[in-house]
């Protein structure tokens, strides 16, 4: 009598703890770079006030025209004790421009923080999906191990009872495939531990709060947020030259261009003279005969003459203009990179959507039917054991491939969301989620 093996559906995997949204929030809240950027902005705004202020006045104390034969302060009428003060006035409008330049530098920081948050979101999403992919693969293999154990039991029972056409090589084949499955499970478990450690670098605060939770045991939620895995409701978004204009990285570069423009204006101020106003009071002692001597007061204005500008002012101005043009070219490169990344991610998403749909609607059902048919034929002494094993392995591989494709699709969507941040034509996502 043939031994029949019932094939049950794969059991659902238990719900895990750390969701993607929580992981992103934790990573952003505990990112030292963001806090450092806040301090940097504060420092620049304080520095701007200093840049717009007049230089400190200079105080001068001295003895003038002191006779060297007696060093008597009252011997000569020209001898005097002096107190002077000098105030320097920087060139042209350089104080206002210098202040505006530093304030403009401070305004870059919020843009950079916006970009950092987007980049952290993308990075943590990728790391979270790495954990999710390995975790789902491990769970699929662990769930399928029982089926392969049953296949081994069937082969051994048939071989011992001689009621089926089972051969010794079928028993060995079942044992080998089970060993390979264990080895594959070990490799995936190592990958899972490595991915968990990488994610723990960003969500260490959450790991520390959980008593008894180790980084290498960090588990993620089973469900990927729908916006990463759902089909676009209105088709693929358009990727054009204006796609990345409002991206925080481009906005930060725009602010830097303004900084460089102000530096050009500041360099032009070097052609204007710098003024200094000085005042001095001189005290004179009485004459040797006791007669009072009038004290003296002096006031003056000094100005430098920027007449020879070819080797300094002209060179500095050209350098400032060149730096401003350099930033403009960097902006062009950033736009090209963002647009190219958007097209690349969109192409991957479209192809993965096609493959995922094909796997879910056609390939997996066919492979499941094939595995069941091969096993039924073997149980009825009308099939080959190796074919039954191959069919079951192929079905398991297809399920793992689907998990990998869903994870890769979500990674590509996260990358696309980063490079298109701020765009008006960002994709509208429906509520339909891929089922793995």
User: Does 79 map to a domain?
Assistant: no
Q: Can you read off the two tokens belonging to residue 327?
A: 């930033």
User: Does 82 map to a domain?
Assistant: no
* Average pLDDT, integer, range 298-326: 92
* Average pLDDT, integer, range 216-223: 79
How much of the chain, in percent, has pLDDT values that exceed 70? 78
Q: Can you read off the two tokens belonging to residue 268?
A: 């032009």
Residue 215: band (very low, low, confident or very high) from pLDDT cuts 50, 70, 90 = low
User: Does 389 map to a domain?
Assistant: yes
Identify the pLDDT of residue 394.
84
- Cα 220 to Cα 410: distance, rounded to the nearest angstrom: 15
Of the listed ranges 3-12, 86-95, 275-284, 290-299, the least confidently predicted one is 3-12
Identify the pLDDT of residue 184.
85
Identify the pLDDT of residue 351.
93
Element (H, E) at 39: helix 32-51
Identify the pLDDT of residue 289.
77
Residue 319 has pLDDT above 70, yes or no: yes
Residue 375: band (very low, low, confident or very high) from pLDDT cuts 50, 70, 90 = confident
Identify the pLDDT of residue 235.
55
- Cα 141 to Cα 399: distance, rounded to the nearest angstrom: 10
Of the listed ranges 52-56, 69-73, 262-266, 384-388, the least confidently predicted one is 384-388
More reliable by pLDDT, 236 or 260? 260
- Cα 329 to Cα 336: distance, rounded to the nearest angstrom: 11
Residue 309: band (very low, low, confident or very high) from pLDDT cuts 50, 70, 90 = confident
Query: Residue written as tokens 């210098």?
Result: 98
Letter string b/e over residues 85-103, b meaning 16 or more CB atoms within 10 A of that residue's CB: ebeebbbbebbbbbbbbbb
Angle between the N-to-C axes of helices 94-161 and 385-419, in degrees from 0 to 180, rounded to the nearest 10 = 170
Q: Can you read off the two tokens belonging to residue 158?
A: 């048939």
Letter string b/e over residues 144-163, b meaning 16 or more CB atoms within 10 A of that residue's CB: beebbebbbebbbebbeeee
Identify the pLDDT of residue 180.
81
pLDDT tens-digit profile of 248-304? 999 999 999 999 999 999 999 999 999 999 999 998 888 777 788 888 999 999 998
- Cα 409 to Cα 346: distance, rounded to the nearest angstrom: 10
Residue 28 has pLDDT above 80, yes or no: yes
Residue 1 has pLDDT above 50, yes or no: no
Residue 20: band (very low, low, confident or very high) from pLDDT cuts 50, 70, 90 = very high
pLDDT tens-digit profile of 123-137? 999 999 999 999 999
Contacts of 38 (CB under 8 A, 6+ apart): 109, 113
Identify the pLDDT of residue 134.
93
Beta-ladder partners of 60: 84
| Mean per-residue pLDDT of the chain | 82
Residue 142 has pLDDT above 50, yes or no: yes
- Cα 256 to Cα 325: distance, rounded to the nearest angstrom: 11
User: Does 324 map to a domain?
Assistant: no
User: Does 128 map to a domain?
Assistant: yes
Nearest to 215, CA basis, from 195, 200, 203:
200
pLDDT tens-digit profile of 323-350? 999 999 999 999 999 999 999 999 999 9
* Average pLDDT, integer, range 368-381: 75
Residue 10: band (very low, low, confident or very high) from pLDDT cuts 50, 70, 90 = very low
User: Does 76 map to a domain?
Assistant: no
Say which DSSP state 53 is in. Answer: S
Q: Is residue 54 a contact partner of residue 89, using CB atoms and an 8 Å limit? A: yes
DSSP string of 369-414? HHHHHHHHHHHTT-S-HHHHHHHHHHHHHHHHHHHHHHHHHHHHHH
- Cα 183 to Cα 381: distance, rounded to the nearest angstrom: 31
Q: Could you tell me the CATH number of the domain that includes residue 164?
A: 1.20.1600.10
With 0-12 / 13-18 / 19 or more C-beta atoms within 10 angstroms meaning exposed / middle / buried, residue 234 is exposed
Of the listed ranges 232-246, 259-273, 405-419, the least confidently predicted one is 232-246
Residue 305 has pLDDT above 50, yes or no: yes
User: Does 429 map to a domain?
Assistant: no
For the chain, the domain total comes to 1
Domain that holds residue 228: 23-48+91-271+333-420
pLDDT tens-digit profile of 165-213? 556 566 666 667 777 888 888 899 899 989 988 998 898 766 666 545 6
pTM of the model: 0.80
Beta-ladder partners of 84: 60, 280
Q: Can you read off the two tokens belonging to residue 151?
A: 């296949």
User: Does 199 map to a domain?
Assistant: yes
- Cα 224 to Cα 171: distance, rounded to the nearest angstrom: 40
Identify the pLDDT of residue 402.
94
pLDDT tens-digit profile of 114-123? 999 999 999 9
């Amino acid at each position: 009598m043939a031994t029949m093996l019932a094939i049950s559906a794969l059991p659902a995997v238990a719900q895990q703890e750390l969701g993607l949204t929580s992981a992103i929030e934790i990573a952003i809240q505990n990112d030292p770079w963001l806090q450092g950027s806040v301090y940097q902005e504060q420092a620049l705004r304080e520095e701007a006030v200093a840049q717009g202020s007049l230089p400190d006045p200079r105080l001068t104390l001295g003895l003038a025209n002191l006779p060297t034969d007696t060093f008597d302060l009252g011997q000569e009428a020209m001898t005097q004790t002096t107190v002077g003060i000098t105030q320097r006035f920087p060139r042209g409008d350089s104080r206002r421009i210098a202040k505006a330049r530093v304030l403009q530098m401070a305004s870059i920081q919020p843009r950079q923080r916006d970009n950092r948050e987007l980049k952290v979101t993308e990075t943590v999403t990728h790391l979270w999906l790495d954990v999710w992919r390995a975790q789902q693969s491990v769970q699929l293999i662990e769930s399928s191990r029982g089926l392969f154990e049953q296949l081994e039991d069937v082969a051994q029972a048939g071989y011992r009872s001689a009621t089926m056409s089972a051969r010794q090589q079928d028993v060995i084949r079942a044992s080998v495939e089970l060993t390979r499955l264990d080895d594959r499970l070990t490799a995936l478990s190592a990958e899972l531990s490595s991915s968990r450690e990488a994610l723990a670098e960003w969500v260490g605060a959450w790991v520390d709060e959980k008593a008894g939770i180790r980084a290498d045991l960090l588990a993620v939620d089973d469900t990927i947020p729908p916006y990463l895995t759902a089909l676009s409701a209105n088709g693929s978004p358009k990727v054009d030259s204006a796609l990345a204009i409002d991206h925080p990285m481009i906005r930060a570069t725009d602010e830097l261009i303004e900084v460089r423009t102000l530096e050009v204006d500041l360099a032009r101020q070097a052609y204007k003279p710098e003024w200094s106003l000085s005042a001095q009071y001189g005290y004179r002692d009485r004459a040797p005969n006791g007669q009072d001597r009038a004290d003296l007061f002096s006031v003056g204005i000094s100005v430098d003459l920027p007449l020879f500008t070819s080797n300094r002012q002209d060179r500095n101005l050209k350098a400032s203009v060149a730096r401003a043009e350099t930033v403009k070219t960097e902006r062009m490169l950033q736009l090209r990179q963002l647009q190219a990344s958007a097209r690349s991610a969109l192409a991957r998403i479209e192809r993965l959507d096609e493959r995922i749909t094909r796997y879910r609607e056609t390939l997996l059902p066919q492979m499941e039917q094939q595995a069941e048919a091969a096993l039924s034929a073997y149980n009825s002494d009308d099939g080959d054991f190796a074919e039954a094993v191959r069919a079951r392995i192929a079905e398991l591989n297809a399920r793992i491939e689907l998990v990998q494709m869903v994870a890769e699709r979500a990674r590509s969507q996260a990358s696309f969301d980063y490079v298109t941040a701020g765009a008006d034509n960002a994709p509208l996502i429906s509520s339909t989620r891929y089922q793995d």
